[in-house]
Amino acid sequence: MTTIPDSTDVDTVARDTVSDQAATDSRTVYPYVLHNIDPSTLRAVDNSREVGDIRQTRPTLVASVAEHGVDPKVSIINVAPDPDGGLRVLVGHHRHAAAVAVKELENPGLTVDVLVHAPGTRREVLVAQGLENIHREGYTAVEEAELYGQLALEGLDAETIARKLSLPDEQINAGLVVAASTRTRAASRSLPTADMFLLSQLAEFGDDEEAHQRLVDVLTTSPRQFPWTLEKLRDEREQRAVLAREIRWFTDLGYALVDAAGDLPDGVERLEELCAGDGVEPLDPAGHADCPGRAVSVWVDRGQEAEVHHFCVDHTGHRHRTLASVRIAQAHDRLHADGVPIVDPTADGVTHLSRLLADDRARHALTAEDHAGCPGHAAYVIDIPFRSTADVGYVCTDYATHGHVLRFASTAQQPQRDAAYQAGERKRATTNNRLWRDAKIDRRKWLTRYFADWRKRKAAALPARLHHWLALAPILAGDYLAEAAPAHAYACTLLKLAEPKDPRRDHNPITVLLRRKSTTETQAVLIRLAQVVGACEAHWNAKYTEQADGSWRSPCDDTRFYVELLAALGYPLSHIEKLVTNPALDHETWPHLAPATTAGEQTPDEQAA
């Protein structure tokens, strides 16, 4: 390829080129200059840099071309011959677009000079354009990514592309990820400051519309939360993958699948509620593995721990009995043996003995022994699942006829929740308990990240009104702080201090740290924050707090304070955590929680609030 020594010698090169052409029987020697070319005849294709509306994107360039034309002494449009005999633009697409625009409006007679290069392969053209464009202002990350994608389609691997463009391998790999995601390329228009690596992280979820939009929203409104949101979505994706593997393992073994959070179909029962024959020992999953009715429900939490519950989908057909039916039958047998009739406790005239006095002189309620000789003596049996026992209630079938009196006047009973409400609450409890478990795992990952650089934190970076929150903590979170004192073990974990093992308080790692002269005031504030946060988190490590219902359904003052503190620290509360301070948020998700029509009646969440 002939080298042009200087832009001021372009005409000389053109004259020499034309002479050479005539002397060599029209053989072309590249490069050479063609004068007075109509810009609208040039093909502008295969440019990795978007031109768009040139009058809008480059108004100054259009004005310059309108006044001066495309001056070859300053810049020139580079072209190459097409197989069909035309010329296509290699370099200078914006100058070409400006010339076409000016010809259409300001100067219909405008012509330009072009520098003609050897045709070259598409791969060579793309590399040449890339070398020019990647150093130009306004060349977007997506345009650059699309260049990488075009080069990959030409058979170049990431390492080769990086070498030809003199760029790091990791940048090319990130760009190829972006180029492959149509959704990310489209979203980039609303993210003008996003670089290639951030867009490649966004493109991880290019095939998940909901997750992708969630990340775009975070980048638009709260960009600092992007790393945390990305990590959370990755965890959710892995959670789904683990769940799919667990389900596949069970289905390959012939197990049916049951949705434990939904309504169980007729005949489906948990294995722990079933027994064989007249026994009262729950069925063992291992012993039930050969039953044709074997089934499981599988759930995986955010920590990738699987929770499996075993069921039988036709327990009566497979000769299993419910433990409740066995317990009730045994209680009935005992009552029959004692000659006690069994009645429906809701039948007219049936009254529980606890509400009756033997006569108007008696001072204590009737007992079963006192009432045994009464003609109205009877009983009913109900099963209490959570106590794994059958409860016998003794009644009188017609207390007035048999001379008994009520201990107290009958009061208007509160409306009973119907079966649909009870079923809805069972499903909500299962779902929300799982959400709370996931939220705890997510929250603790966020807290680990939050305290990772606590030693380097500056006073200006502390959350607003942090000292106010710390002053409120002994009052509004006093119970949790008392539980954690004096060791404050979870605070030590957050601060990456040694586990407190020595019972002497002056040997506690926090004590030792605070007594060092090198510990700054800002560090001391963050140590106190870790004590408050750690105390609240440690509360949910206790055995008696494992059931989540009490946290999101009936939160105490300490829990409400903690959720408000987390929000003040910048933690993005999940739906289940927001319920702590706003129970009504669940009403839209769970229709059975719609406010009751009975005057003065409130839902349990409203009462808790």
The pLDDT of residue 15 is: 38
In a domain, 2, yes or no: no
pLDDT at 48: 62
> Are 90 and 221 contained in the same domain?
no
Comparison of pLDDT for 47 and 174, the residue scoring more: 174
Q: Residue range 174-193: average pLDDT?
A: 93
131 and 176 belong to one structural domain:
yes
Q: Report how far residue 476's alpha carbon sits from residue 558's, in angstroms, rounded to the nearest whole number.
A: 6
Q: How many domains does the chain have?
A: 5
Could you tell me if 196 and 174 lie in one domain? no
Contact between 593 and 586 under an 8 Å Cβ cutoff? The reply is yes
| Cα 217 to Cα 198: distance, rounded to the nearest angstrom | 14
Mean pLDDT: which of 51-60, 121-130, 223-232 is highest? 223-232
pLDDT band at 414 (very low <50, low <70, confident <90, very high): very low
- The model scores a pTM over 0.75: no
Residue 597 has pLDDT above 60, yes or no: no
| Predicted local distance difference test score (pLDDT) of residue 409 | 65
Q: Is residue 515 part of a domain?
A: yes
What percentage of the chain exceeds 70 in pLDDT? Answer: 90
Tokens of 560: 């409400």
Q: What is the pLDDT of residue 16?
A: 43
Q: Which residue has tokens 């699987």?
A: 306
Q: Which of 413-417, 527-531, 588-592 ranks highest by mean pLDDT?
A: 527-531
Q: CA-to-CA distance for 46 and 74, rounded, in angstroms? A: 24
Q: Are residues 225 and 297 in the same domain?
A: no
Render pLDDT for 469-500 as a digit per residue (tens, 0 to 9): 999 999 999 999 999 999 999 999 999 999 99
Q: What is the mean pLDDT of residues 556-582?
A: 96
Q: Identify whether 549 is part of a domain.
A: yes
Same domain, yes or no, for 30 and 91? Answer: yes
C-alpha distance from residue 381 to each of 335, 348, 369, 390 (Å): 10, 17, 17, 7
Residue 22: per-residue pLDDT: 35
What digits encode the pLDDT tens for the residues 58-68? Answer: 898 999 999 88
Element (H, E) at 35: strand 32-37
**542 and 556 share a domain?**
yes
The answer on pLDDT for 297 being more than 90 is yes
Mean pLDDT of 142-149: 90
**493 & 522 share domain:** yes
Q: What is the per-residue pLDDT across 372-392, written as a single tens digit (0 to 9) for each?
A: 999 999 999 998 766 678 899
Helix axes 521-539, 466-476, angle to 10 degrees: 40
Is residue 425 domain-resident? yes
pLDDT tens-digit series, residues 457-472: 999 999 999 999 999 9
Residues 129 and 187 in one domain: no
Let me know if residue 286 belongs to a domain. Answer: yes
Domain housing 282: 253-322
pLDDT average, residue stretch 32-41 = 91
For the chain, what is the radius of gyration of the CA atoms? 39
Residue 270 has a pLDDT of: 92
Round the average pLDDT of the chain to a whole number and report it. Answer: 87
Res. 127: pLDDT tops 70: yes
pLDDT at 602: 53
Matching residue, tokens 């345009």: 143
